[in-house]
Structure 1
Amino acid sequence: MAKRVLITGGNSGIGLCTAEQLAGRGAEVLLACRDQTKGQAAVARIKNRYPEARVRLFSLDLADLAAVHGCARRLTDELDGLDVLINNAGVVPTRQQFTADGYEMQFGVNYLAPVLLTHLLLPLLQSRPNARVLHVASVAHWLGRINPNTWRGRRPYLVMDAYGQSKLGNILFSDVLAQKLAGQGITSNALHPGGVDTGIFRHVPGLAMKLIRPTLTTAENAARLPVRMALDDTFNDVTGGYFDAKGAASRSPRARDKKSAARLYEQTLAALELNPL
């Protein structure tokens, strides 16, 4: 039976290449995107390459928690289950922006909204055997630290500090989720697929680029890791891991701090008004 995979931000970059490769391997692909025009173009591109592919488009704006709830309701109404959730979408605004709910944009879109979406879609994942949740993190998590005082904005706004915090949050959440779902048939893993050398990096400070540049690759190459982690049998029982293209990846000390992970999870669920798992 073909796997059903939902990927956020699957309309461009690594996300689009991931969606395309998933379809090429026979998966049913659900694209959850903010920009529906780009989403439709992505569907057309995938169908043009793989005419028999099953691809659907859903509207999802991660910068609006009400919209996340709305997307989750539609998915729950229309689907009987979900095999894989890939929390891929992310933003890196070079000037400080805010979500509809008043959160700093990177924290809100890259971290907070995916936590909400994951919790809301757990019933769909629980209905399928060997379901998986993948969190697209980054080597830039080494630059991050969890600071609740910055969640509603920071002065000065340092783009890579904000990005690093959001990516550190992805890894810590993945670990907590793996622990909470142990024995329930759902795995949770984080990954660094590799960056793609595009204009997104033009404002990145020199020190950060020293960390990032060795990992830069093409979007097609970067997509291979999330595709393997979504579909390959070798990841059936793997949970609580953090991977890059070479295998198990190195984590920062903060990304190994279980107390920090538990504290962040508690604070996050309070902000989202969710009950802990």
Structure 2
Amino acid sequence: MKKTVLITGGNSGLGLHSAEQMAARGAEVLIGCRDRTRGQAAVAHIKNHHPQARVRLFALDLSDLAQVHSAARRLRDEIGELDVLINNAGTVPTRQQFTADGYEMQFGVNYLAPVLFTHLLLPLLRQAPSARILHVASVAHWLGRINSRTWRGRFPYLVMDAYGQSKLGNILFSNVLAQRLAREGITSNALHPGGVDTGIFRHVPGPLRTLIRPTLITPEKAAFLPVSMALDEDFVGVTGGYFDARGRARRSPSARNGELAARLYEETMALLELTPLAAAQPARVPG
């Protein structure tokens, strides 16, 4: 059966190569991005290399929650079901920036908006058999600490602290979804694609970027993991995991903290004015 896959930030880097590889395998791919020109270029690139590819673009600006609502409404009107949602888009500004709703940019774009978008697309995911949700996290979650006092801005602004918090949030959210959607047959997993040489490092100062680059892998190689988790039979029914290229990866103690995950989820639902998913029976989160 052909799969319908939606990937945010699919216009460049890891997202683009993931979209291309999934389209090459026959999936219908929806690319969500903020910049229409870059998005159109991504679609053209994929179709030039794979003429039979089924790929299309939709506008999505994760820095504005009202636009996230609008994008989800359009998708619910246009497609009947969604097999895979990949929350891939992210940002790492080295200077503090804020979303349209007044949140620190990394918290808002990397964590808060994907939580909203995922909930708004649950009706489509529920229509698909064995739907999958993937969250692109990072080993940098080990640096993260959930601190609600920084969500509207942090002083001083420490870029890796902010990034670590957002990636820790991704994993904790994935854990909650895995538990609360288990009865519905929807799986949720997080992944660390590796240190990927993409535009996400464009804000890193030149000397540091020069030092980091030799340790990075290409987006094309890194895409193997999310593509496998999205489409392969090996991941049927697998939920609540955190993976890297070698398989199941080790999470920080905070990322395994069920009470922290539940508390963050409830606080996030209050921010977004959404009804939380019903809690499941407590289950041990794998390491």
TM-score, normalised relative to structure 2: 0.92
Q: Label 1:107 to 1:204 Cα distance change in 2 as closer, same or farther (>3 A).
A: farther
Q: Label 1:46 to 1:74 Cα distance change in 2 as closer, same or farther (>3 A).
A: same
2:204 paired residue number: 202
Give the superposition deviation at 1:23: 0.5
Tell me how far apart the structure 1 counterparts of residues 54 and 215 of structure 2 sit (CA, whole Å). 32
2:42 paired residue number: 42
Describe the SS at the equivalent of 1:275: coil
Give the superposition deviation at 1:185: 1.2
Deviations 1:67-126 (A, max 9, x none): 000000000000000000000000000100000000000000000000000000001000
Q: Label 1:204 to 1:159 Cα distance change in 2 as closer, same or farther (>3 A).
A: farther
1:177 paired residue number: 177
1:272 paired residue number: 272
Whether the 8 Å CA contact 1:5–1:83 is kept in 2: the answer is: yes
Describe the SS at the equivalent of 1:183: helix
Describe the SS at the equivalent of 1:29: strand
1:125 paired residue number: 125
Tell me how far apart the structure 2 counterparts of residues 250 and 147 of structure 1 sit (CA, whole Å). 22
Whether the 8 Å CA contact 1:194–1:215 is kept in 2: the answer is: no
Tell me how far apart the structure 1 counterparts of residues 43 and 213 of structure 2 sit (CA, whole Å). 31
Whether the 8 Å CA contact 1:160–1:204 is kept in 2: the answer is: no
Whether the 8 Å CA contact 1:130–1:186 is kept in 2: the answer is: yes
Identity %: 75
Give the superposition deviation at 1:202: 3.2
Matched residue type, 1:7? I
Matched, 1:115 2:115: yes
Whether the 8 Å CA contact 2:94–2:203 is kept in 1: the answer is: no
Tell me how far apart the structure 1 counterparts of residues 40 and 269 of structure 2 sit (CA, whole Å). 33
Deviations 1:34-79 (A, max 9, x none): 0110000000000001101111100000000000000000000000
2:2 paired residue number: 2
Q: Label 1:118 to 1:214 Cα distance change in 2 as closer, same or farther (>3 A).
A: farther
Q: How many residues align?
A: 274
Matched residue type, 1:121? L
Whether the 8 Å CA contact 1:136–1:192 is kept in 2: the answer is: yes
Tell me how far apart the structure 2 counterparts of residues 155 and 62 of structure 1 sit (CA, whole Å). 23
Whether the 8 Å CA contact 1:72–1:117 is kept in 2: the answer is: yes
2:26 paired residue number: 26
Whether the 8 Å CA contact 2:197–2:219 is kept in 1: the answer is: no
Give the superposition deviation at 1:183: 1.7
Q: Label 1:37 to 1:82 Cα distance change in 2 as closer, same or farther (>3 A).
A: same
Tell me how far apart the structure 1 counterparts of residues 206 and 111 of structure 2 sit (CA, whole Å). 20
Tell me how far apart the structure 2 counterparts of residues 132 and 223 of structure 1 sit (CA, whole Å). 17
Deviations 1:152-178 (A, max 9, x none): 000000000000000000000000000
Matched residue type, 1:179? Q
Give the superposition deviation at 1:216: 2.5
Matched residue type, 2:147? N
Tell me how far apart the structure 2 counterparts of residues 266 and 53 of structure 1 sit (CA, whole Å). 40
How do 1:63-74 residues align onto structure 2 when only pairs under 5 Å count? 63-74=63-74
TM-score, normalised relative to structure 1: 0.95
Q: Label 1:205 to 1:245 Cα distance change in 2 as closer, same or farther (>3 A).
A: farther
Unaligned ranges ≥5, structure 1:
none
Matched residue type, 1:256? R
Matched residue type, 1:228? S
Describe the SS at the equivalent of 1:115: helix
Greater alpha carbon shift after TM alignment, 64-73 vs 216-225 = 216-225
Matched, 1:85 2:85: yes
Tell me how far apart the structure 2 counterparts of residues 215 and 110 of structure 1 sit (CA, whole Å). 23
Tell me how far apart the structure 2 counterparts of residues 204 and 104 of structure 1 sit (CA, whole Å). 24
1:143 paired residue number: 143
